[in-house]
Each structure stands twice: as C-alpha cells, then as structure tokens.
A and B are shown apart, each in its own frame.
Chain A
C-alpha cells in the first residue's frame, strides 16, 4: 500500500517517535524508504556555509561534511536501517520545508512522514518554527498524504488497525475519507467516523440551548451517514459518532476512547495565518496532542490504491 515512504528527519532524538513509525511502516508494507535530512539553511554568499538547523551554528557543508552527516545518520538509525529492506539516505541544503517538497516532487512518495512540532515555540530565525513551519508548508503543498508523529506515546502502536476519520464536511475531507477507507480495508481494520460540532462558532454556547445543540448533533449524524457511511459499500466494520465541543479537544478524546492508532484529517488549502491562529489549526493541535500518528490529506491525486482483496 505504501510503496514509497519519504521520511524527513532532523536526525535528533526529537524525531525518534516519527522514525519508529516510519520504519515500522516500511517493514510492514515492504516500502522503499527515503531517509531525508535537510542539513541547514544556506548562510551567505557562495561558500558552502550553512546554518545547521539543529544548532543554529555555521558549518561548512563541503563534501566531507556531508559525508560525515550521512555517517552520523547511519549510526543514529543503525538498528532500524538494518531491518529495512530498501532504504536510501538523502541530504540537502536549504529551507527544510522547501527541500522536503522538492524531494517529494522528485521521489513521488505515497506518504511523507514528518516529526511533529513540540508544544512550546522555539526562538531564533533559524530554529524558530522549523518544525512547525515544516508541517504547515509541507502539509499544505504536498501532493500525497502527510503523516506526523509528535508525542513518543504516539509511536508505540506497531501498526494501523483502528482508524479515526474526523471530518468537517469540507471538500478536502473527501480525499481524507478516501484515504481512511483505503487503509481500513487494506489492514482489515476498524474505521471510526467522527465529527465535532464546534461550539466556539456560536456567539455564546450558553445562548445555544441544549435542544439546539442536540439538533445540530442529529443534523451532523445525518450528514455523516449520507456523505460517508453510505459510501462504504460492503465494508461494515465502522462506527459513527458526533460530539460537541472544541474540535481538536474532542478529536483527541474520541481517538483515545476508541484507542485509535491512526487519525486522518483533511488539511485545508487556505493558509492559516499564524497571527490569526496563534495556537495553530485543528490539525496542528491534534498532532501535538494525539496519542497516535496523524495523517493529513489535502488532495485526491496521490492516494493509496487498495490492493484487490
């Protein structure tokens, strides 16, 4: 199902969880894994000076240095690489999100695996938002689904079998739904359809009566049935729920309750202005808080084809 995986890593411990999931997937699906590291942001002029994205220090990215970095990566991931049938290591210099997209354009992976942002924002031009920006920019522009693993506890499921698909009924959610269904069928797993009625959108939740809320819940349940459940055909192993609250909170709670090992969300094409949304979009909040990997899908081009049963 995932023939080609592109795993973008900083090579540091903060990517251990994402690495665990990426290599697990490669092993389970016999994928070709590209381990991709963006070494640094170009400094100045025409030398090989780059600012190392990890330390913020200037280094000379000459051939020797690049080899050294590749060796470091081989050591860091020695155990996982040993268990991986088909793996290549690629290193690039540039703005991380841009280079990941460039590598994705070249390798055409079925899925990109990223390490998720930490909860606290980071300082400095070079460190600031390298991981957070990565997610935003890559998830937005990538042609294939993007899987992000943030917390260590999100990386110990050892596979996908219990999938939560959370929708806001947008067009982008259709592609996310396709992905969720394909994966559920392929792994013979369970699919949990979920929608959260966003109470924050109403002027004041208290002004919205309980009857009002429950009417909205019922309406959403009908939509879930009509727009998604009805399209599942013979696939019967699914549940369908609608809760009310703040979307990212409810999604994380629902996934925990269902003991999900994968959450699938649509990424929205429109930019989320960091000034307007200081805490990030629903997607970002779910990634930072969930106890399982989160996949964002934003377009139908590059979805996994279900193998014939």
Chain B
C-alpha cells in the first residue's frame, strides 16, 4: 500500500514530522501524493460499523429528500442555489454513499468527499433547525470528516493543526515555558496602567480558571492582558493553569478524534489539578464547542460534563455586568450603528443568544443596535467556520462564503460588528480586506475596557504635569 511521505494515514505525532509537513509549502507535494493515496476499504467499513450508530443511521435513512434544508444553508444560497449544495445531497453523496457501499469507495471518491466536507459545509448546524426530522447534517459532516481523516484525506493545514494539538496540546507551537513567560510578560507590561495586576499561574481552589486560544499568547498577547485587566477590575479570584490552558481544537475541525480526546483531557487534568469553582473560556466559539460541549464525550466522562462548571466568556461578562462587578460608564456607551455576530457554536449550539443581548443592553446606547437578518440562533455562519478560514486550497470557496455575512452586515448599515469569537473575528477581518465595506469589528474585551468605570483603588497614582 503506497503511502506518501507527506500524505498518509499516519497522524502527526512528533515535532519533526510537524516541521516536515509545514515545510511543504501550501501542501503542494501533500496534495500531489493524495492523488495516489489508497483507501483502506476494510478499515473504513470496520470503523463505520463500529461508530456510525443508530442516530446517524436513522438520519441517513429517514431523510425524505424534502429539500427544506436547501434554503437553510448559507452555502447553498450564496452558491446560486446549485443542487450540489443542498445539505441533504451533500451528506447523502458522501457519508450516505460510504455506508451504502459498505466502505467500498476509491481515491477519487474520497478526495471529492474531502472537498464537500471541508468546503461545502462549515458544520454550523443551521440545517438541523429547519429539517422536519431534526436531521443535523453538520454533525454528520463532522463525523464524515473523522472518517476521511482516518484515511488520510484531510486538508493540509488541518493535518498540521491536529498535529499541533498532538505535539503541543495547543493549536500553535506554544510550549508551557512560552505560555508562562507570556503571562509574566503581560502582567509586567500592564503595571503602569494597572498597578498590582497579576496573572496568577496554577493557583489552587480559585473561583475561576481561565483558558484561552493559543494564538493569543503567540501573536496577540494583549488579549490575555485584557482578560486579566477585566478580572482585576471585577475583583475576581482567578488563575490560569501552566498546562491545559489551551481550549481550542483544530483537531475537531480535522476530524482527528484521538487528538480531540488528548487535547480536552489536558484541560480536564488542569481542572482536576487546580480545582477551581468554575472555568471560563475566552471569546472563541469552537473552543467552547470542543471543550465544553463535545469534549466530555470524547473523554468518556459519564455525566457528559467537564470536571467543573465551564462557561463561555459572554456568560461571565453578562454576569459581571448584571451583578455590577463591571460597571459601564453611560457616557461611553456605543453610539454608532453596531451589529452583533451570532457565532454558531455558542449561540445556536449553546443557546446564549439572549445572554449576548443582555450584554449589548449595557454596552450600546438604545437605538444603535441593529440586528442582522436573520439573527440569534437563526443567524448565518460567518463564512469561515469549521476550519474554512484556514484552508488555502478552499480559499476561493471561503471568500465566496464571506459574501453572505458581508451582505448581512451591509443591510444593517452598521459600522461596527461585535464578534466575540476568534473564527468570526478572522472571517470579518478577511471580508473587510477582501470587499472593503468600511467596517470595524471587535471582541468584547477591548470594548469593555474602554467603557468600564475603573474603581478608584485600582487607578494608578496620578502624575503631575500636563497631558502631552
């Protein structure tokens, strides 16, 4: 069975292999080798028999081909309503076929399935809301990705991403030393403006354990500083773990279930070690989905829950605003047309639409919030979800997908989009770079810091002299 040097069924487990795969610019050789990657039909059917269980089978069987899912799918709509974009078709022609043929599929089929699974679906789960039977094609597509990954048919960047989690337990090469160093650095840097600010590492029995996205320490450590500042202002007793601080999961996008499990187990181990009262995640949708919603099942936890109550950042923000831990200066509320990006993973899939609106009621001057159409749990994917943002091979399809969000934003007339999710934030940045519609976009943290009233005892000693 000839396997490529870069493209094969083996997951990336070492730093060496990771660097080797990264060195294949844009995955050129990787995709070349994929053209001759053989399908292990026996293994595929074996896996399907073991893991494609009653729920998925029922969904595949019971689909009435009614077509209601078509209009629910933003990719169907933005791609001129082509029949091949109908969700039911997308899943029946991939997973459905694999099951019907008992795994007897060839290389060409698998490459086509890869294209469908990663460029014709972002796993946003919107179709599930419109299907009369409640069939969730997003979930099925996620499962299909797992089958494809196990056979080696996965986009280059996601093979790397899953490898990152396997090697570093983080989506980027940030080691424990890097992470702790960055925490120290950020606390130091903020001392002028926030004397006494700390980023406590490995504090036991704290009220809050905070987890984030590896790109924060890697490239945007200010994000971490902002989180620290807000906890500081709110007077929270909090900590970060030295290990298990990363809650994202490119492995989930890749369909690498083993890596998913290893990744969340690392976070759960930290929770077990530090015993916080609860855990709060950063502004990231898929991280929440992976670590809070799906994670307990990957890790085999019997109650389907993480070891401690685990919430998304917006839940903490809403609570802090509600209880007055964070008070907004009314003079600084947003007074420009603003809209809100409902990220699929914590809004549609976790029900936090009203929590988000509660936050907005504090932050936005009445009359300035203009909701997208549709909105809340019916809102469309940002265009970049499920790993779409990161896959070079499917960039043109992703750029097309951004049009949906672009047009939604344009219809609102908003100048600012609030997007408390790394993926959505990236997608909106990209749509602005691509289509130049003249908007600004932001996470919640920087907005809060600008608007929040700083308690006197936290203000730095005033200097004399004029403000230059």
Contact = CB atoms under 8 A, between A and B. Distances in A.
Direct contact of A and B (CB under 8 A): yes
Interface of A: 41-42, 44-49, 60, 62-64, 94-95, 98, 101-102, 105, 124-126, 141, 168-173, 198, 201, 247, 265-266, 268-271, 273, 281-283, 298-299
Contacts of B392: 45, 47, 49
Interface in B370-407: 384, 387, 389-392
Contacts of A46: 157-158, 160-161, 164, 171-172, 250, 390
Contacts of B465: 168-173
A299 B189 CA distance: 12
B67 interface: no
B433 interface: yes
A47 B463 contact: no
B221 A98 contact: yes
B195 to A, nearest CB: 11
A62 B29 CA distance: 14
Interface in B432-468: 432-433, 450, 460, 463-468
Given A44-B430, A62-B22, A266 B468 contact: yes
A281 B466 CA distance: 12
6 A-B pairs with the lowest CB-CB distances in the bound complex, closest first: A45-B390, A170-B465, A282-B468, A269-B192, A171-B463, A169-B465
A268 B433 contact: no
Contacts, number: 99
Contacts of A125: 429, 432-433
Contacts of A169: 464-466
A48 B161 CA distance: 12
A285 to B, nearest CB: 10
Contacts of B156: 47
Contacts of A98: 219-222
Interface string B9-47: 000000000000011011100000000000000000000
A42 B172 CA distance: 12
Nearest to B161: A46
B22 A270 contact: no
A48 B25 contact: yes
B106 interface: no
A247 B161 CA distance: 52
B464 A171 contact: yes
Interface residues of B toward A: which range?
A: 35 or more
B368 interface: no
B391 A45 contact: yes
A268 B468 contact: yes
B26 A268 contact: no
Interface in B198-248: 215, 218-222
A247 B468 contact: yes
Given A62-B22, A95-B219, A98-B221, 18 more contacts: A41-B219, A42-B215, A42-B219, A44-B426, A45-B392, A47-B22, A47-B390, A49-B392, A60-B26, A62-B23, A102-B185, A124-B433, A168-B465, A168-B468, A170-B463, A201-B466, A268-B468, A270-B193
A298 B432 CA distance: 36
Nearest to A247: B468
A266 B231 CA distance: 30
B467 A270 contact: yes
Contacts of A64: 25
Nearest to B433: A125
A172 B161 contact: no
